Structure 1
Amino acid sequence: VRATERTYTGPRRRLGAWRAGRPGEVVDQGGQPWGTRLGSQGPDQGFALRLARAFRPRLRLGPGEHVADVVVGCVGVALKRAALFGRAPVADDLEVAFGLFGFLDEPLVGPALAERRRLFAEVSHHHQYTEVRRIVDLVPDATLGLTRQEALDARDAGRAFTPDPVHHRPSRLVIPDPTGPQKGRLLDSVLPVALFLVLNRVWGLAAGVAGATLWSIKVAVSRRSRGEVVGRFLPILVAYLVVRAGVGIWTDSEAVYFGIGIGTKAAIGLALIGTVVRGRPILTRYAPAVVPFSAETQAHPGYHRVMARLTVLLGAYQLATSIWDVWLFNRTSTDGYVLIRFVVGWPAGTAATMAAFLWADRALRVVPDCPGLLELMERPDRR
């Protein structure tokens, strides 16, 4: 290279480590600011505006509604959904947002149109941040965690929105929080144990068994009414609870009543392991009902191997807890057995489940194009 020719010259080397100290960088200030109406910031949020362009021809607006207002209001809802999953916005977020407010359906008429028009009026103006936040706050996290079709079903059933925080009244678009049934899960788990302990202490084994069984049946029926998977097996579950309670009351024996439960759990464990021995692990068939594995993933030998090992682990856990139950029952009182098993069972079950999930997450990554168990379960299109 001649001395007169132009060549690249890099900047002068600076001593010391690089620091994110420029005005727009918030790393040294504790990260993104948080507080009332600041929301949860996610990555690449501006991309939602690019995605929204493709939806403009599909929007069905009524008289007096403006595309700019609709886009700004619904983009805010879409960004909230994307941030809940810790990712950039995708088209499905906008499908949910526009769909919840009915902008992809036939145009509204009458009072419903007037209410929606009032809600979105002039929100595209840059001074209307508070109004946009009000629209976003109408859609709770529980609704945004649903798939697109589930969110539309919740809207049609009147369970998709929260009360209007400004006007303090429900609107035709705003419906009570759908998370109510979830709040009773802890009570559903604790009450059978509490009923057994109290009734058994006051009126004896028969009363304790009857109280715990009736509440367990009530929980099963309630979950069916909410559309949960247990509904498919409800007749078998109710029959089992009734037969077990009847035998326990008839024999008036704690050993018989609890022995039925322990024996059932051990039998389930053996049956699970048996499906692996026969070469047909049960999780291979039923795991896709919970996690959206692709057809290619399900056909891969690595998937079958992981599901087989998980099935064996689940069966071994059932057998191990059965042995623990027998040991505990023979060394404590009836009340002590029920209480200790409940207190120990929750943390042990949670720890075992988390360990199995983390192991499966790593093991499934050997399958081509499979991002892992945890990422698949976090996807908003999960059924």
Structure 2
Amino acid sequence: MQLRRALTHVPMIYLVAIFNLVAVMILSAHEGVEIIYYAWMGVFAIACVARMIMWMRFPNDRDPDVNPQKILRSLSVISVGIITFLSVWSVFAISTDMFANQMFIPMSLVFGSTCIAHCLACIRKAAVTVLFVGVLPSAVAMILVGDFDDMIMGWSMITIALLMIRFIIDSYNQIISGLIMRHTIWKQAHSDPLTGLANRRAMMSHLHLAEQSFANEGNGFAIALIDLNQFKQVNDNLGHDIGDELLVEVASRLNQSSAAKEIVGRLGGDEFLIFMPDVTEQEQASARATAYLTGFARPANINGHILTPSASVGIAVQACDGHGAEQLLKAADSALYKMKRAGETTRNSVGKFATPPFRKIA
């Protein structure tokens, strides 16, 4: 979330750098400074323009496998590097009396540093470093080698930098708190509060995305609808707290049995849904569903009660059993209850609870 917020400000960082470089180049040319002292700024400005155009043209062309921390670190290095170059040149200009009006260079740098620090407010260390590097060296140079007016301006710049650092820290805390709250709200809306699995809304979203992928690229998928056997008997005889603990245990075991890219969700009650991408045949889907059932059909000690969870399952394959999320869910639900009505079990004999379905540890 920090990365997404930071990336939206990247064009502004380049724009601020370009503006300051061009402004200093115009001033240098106006005051007759030899081009050798500021020619590098032109190259730097052109590179910034090219990079900004590329970034704005391909804003979503990002490698999903790249570590966000690595990108944030690179962005921090680039920003601090730009300000460091300008800061070194500013100190050089102040120390050598290169300009008649020396105020312009440090003030321009303060403006640029403040803007970039604001853009990087969600990266606290980078923002604070930009302010230190961009403001303090020029301010100290003005205090040490300037006249009385320069000295006053130097101290004013330091005061501005300190106030901005305080503002950046407060802004960072607010940003992070807001991002955490937004993430919490999203998680509450898309995950099951009891088991932590994806909830019905999240699973339907995954199915709709898979449906679009199938329509555009032909990527097949299948679903497995799992319903625990005799779960009501557990709730009625042992209580809902034991039933909830059993659901949590089953969810954990289903999650452990999931393969790469497969998603396990809880639709509600004792009903679970498994999304299986790249599964295009009934045999594949049946084998994966059996693996899930086998994975959790082991005795579990739930608060002193030995429970052996088991379930019935209904599978549906895209294009074979229907098109779209709703049709596939109906097909899987029909297959599930057909199995329940027929009293069938899976090949591994995990279709029913043992008799009795639970026992108490002595």
Q: Which range, TM-score by smaller chain?
A: under 0.3
Using structure 1 for the length normalisation, give the TM-score.
0.20
Using structure 2 for the length normalisation, give the TM-score.
0.21
- Give the structure with higher Rg (CA): 2
Structure (1 or 2) with the greater strand fraction: 2
